[in-house]
A and B are shown apart, each in its own frame.
Chain A
Amino acid sequence: MNKYNPPRMNPSSLRSRFATRFLRSLSKINAKKPTASSSSPTEIFRRYRRIKVAADKSMAYSVRSRRTWSRAMLWKLRTRPCCRRSVKTSTIVRKTRHEKQNKNTTTTTGEDGVVFGVEADELRELVPGGEAMDLYNLLDETAHYIKCLTTQVQVMKKIADFYSP
């Protein structure tokens, strides 16, 4: 009676969009490996960085500009101090870091005087783009960010399990 039907994948779901992009980046990363030193620790570390950036980038592109955190992450990824970027970009990054250091600790209060000072600031540091959000948007963005992070972890886990012996 209970025939096992493998679940149909929704081609426009966040999970499939992320999985497609990420797998594509993975094959690109895999394709450019030099076969001579592919197992040296430096190569592995370099690949680890590339994979991590590819994962974050794939997720941010799957969400596009619909969310503040994804826009902030895309902006951050584009202005990374990459070795191939021009000098102009690195000055922008330096200015942003300087602005971040001047941030004063803000006390965020709800209507009834509940103070979320320290925790909200901690959250602001964790969620990309959180520094400029008010409490309502921060909570909203956090919920979506957590949902996307869990999807990312699930897909990466599936891929890692698939490739492990």
Chain B
Amino acid sequence: MSSRRSRSRQTGSTSRISDDQIIDLVSKLHQLLPEIRNAHSDKVSAAKVLQETCNYIRSLHREVDDLSERLSELLATTDNAQAAIIRTLLMQ
């Protein structure tokens, strides 16, 4: 089989990524997550953050799906007006 070069590139890579950098990134991810269930938000383990991130991404995918479905039903019933589009663009 073809060699899996990318698999062997684990922690023995040329650039040593320090643990602090990883911790920084994990905490940066933690900031992005919606803080609904976290009582003590500064003592969450990294594995928990990754878990929550996976759940959050899945829920975002689901929201995109629902919104696409909603939009497809709405487009079936609306007339498309150019002015409406421009207005949507302007309002944030």
Contact = CB atoms under 8 A, between A and B. Distances in A.
A19 B19 contact: no
Given A9-B92, A139-B26, A30 B67 contact: no
Interface string B59-90: 01101110111111111111010001101111
A91 interface: no
A153 B76 contact: no
A102 B2 CA distance: 11
A9 B56 contact: no
B50 A116 contact: yes
B73 A44 contact: yes
Q: Is the interface of A mostly helix, strand, loop or mixed?
A: helix
B88 A159 contact: yes
Contacts, number: 154
Q: Is the interface of B mostly helix, strand, loop or mixed?
A: helix
B19 A112 contact: yes
A152 B28 contact: no
Contacts of B44: none
Contact of A152 (B17, B21, B47, B64): B64
A116 B74 CA distance: 43
Given A114-B46, A157-B67, A160-B74, A23 B25 contact: no
Contacts of B72: 44-45, 47-48, 50-51
26 contacts: A6-B90, A29-B75, A30-B75, A43-B76, A47-B75, A47-B76, A48-B71, A52-B64, A52-B68, A55-B64, A104-B7, A112-B19, A116-B50, A120-B50, A123-B50, A127-B57, A134-B13, A135-B22, A136-B25, A139-B25, A142-B29, A143-B32, A145-B57, A146-B57, A162-B88, A163-B84
